[in-house]
Amino acid sequence: MNFVGRLLGDVAPNFEANTTASRVRFHDFLRNSWGFLSSHPRDFTPVCSTELSRAAKLASEFAKRNVKLIPIALSIDSVEDHLAWSKDINAYNGEEPTEKLPFPIFDDKNRDLTILLGMLDPAEKDEKDMPAAARVVFVTGPDKKLKLSIIYPATIGGNFDEILPVVTSLYQKKIFLKGDFTKELPSGKKCLRYTPQP
């Protein structure tokens, strides 16, 4: 069972894996939160490092929306590699170069999660001629169902600043079910009413 080829609304796989924090089971980790599951091809690469640096900077914004960030390392990298790489990510952000990030990074040195979640990019190969992990974003709701799926080729970096408003929209739709309030116009046609930004 994997995300790719599944429909929005399908229940996410309840996988278990080691992370930089501990061993976790996906559904237990999420509890009643939204989940932001992202993958990257390889630790210590420039694009992946800047992506996760930005994710670390935006972690508090995602937390305000009850969204747990879960960058999954879908490559041949281990927890030990992730911990060492975390120092670079923190240093890139101008912070103390520690092994602690505001989210766990999953160990997938055997590509088990990559295969389970359908995240391989067959067009990109590593030095062992193995398919690289694509850059994938999955958002799950508190019901553990898939709400969003974005798949980038391994060669294109994701943009967490673009994802935040999408996640906000998904979250607000859940809270404000009838969000399409309209304003009466002289023509009688309905027009969306916009609320000023704070």
- The alpha helices in 16-154, defined as continuous H runs, are 26-30, 46-64, 79-92, 112-116
**Residue 1 has what pLDDT?**
42
Burial class of residue 108 in the structure, from the number of CB atoms within 10 Å of its CB (0-12 exposed, 13-18 middle, 19+ buried)? buried
Strand-pair category, 23-25 with 135-140: unpaired
Pick the catalytic residue from 17, 30, 37, 48.
Answer: 48
C-beta neighbour count of 95 within 10 angstroms: 14
48 has catalytic annotation: yes
Q: How far is 10 from 68, CA to CA, in rounded Å?
A: 19
Supply the CATH classification number for the domain 10-192.
3.40.30.10
Q: Tokens at residue 136, please?
A: 């994938």
Beta strands at 34-40 and 135-140: parallel, antiparallel or unpaired: antiparallel
Q: Where along the chain do its domains lie?
A: 10-192
**pTM of the predicted protein model:** 0.80
**Strand pairing of 131-133 and 135-140?**
unpaired
Tens digit of each residue's pLDDT, the chain (198 residues)? 455 567 899 999 999 999 998 999 999 999 998 888 888 888 998 888 998 999 999 988 888 888 887 665 556 688 999 999 999 999 999 999 999 999 899 998 888 888 888 888 888 887 888 887 888 889 999 999 999 998 888 778 888 898 888 888 887 776 555 555 666 778 877 765 555 655
Per residue in 123-151, pLDDT (tens digit) is 888 788 888 788 888 999 999 999 999 88
Cβ atoms 148, 137 nearer than 8 A: yes
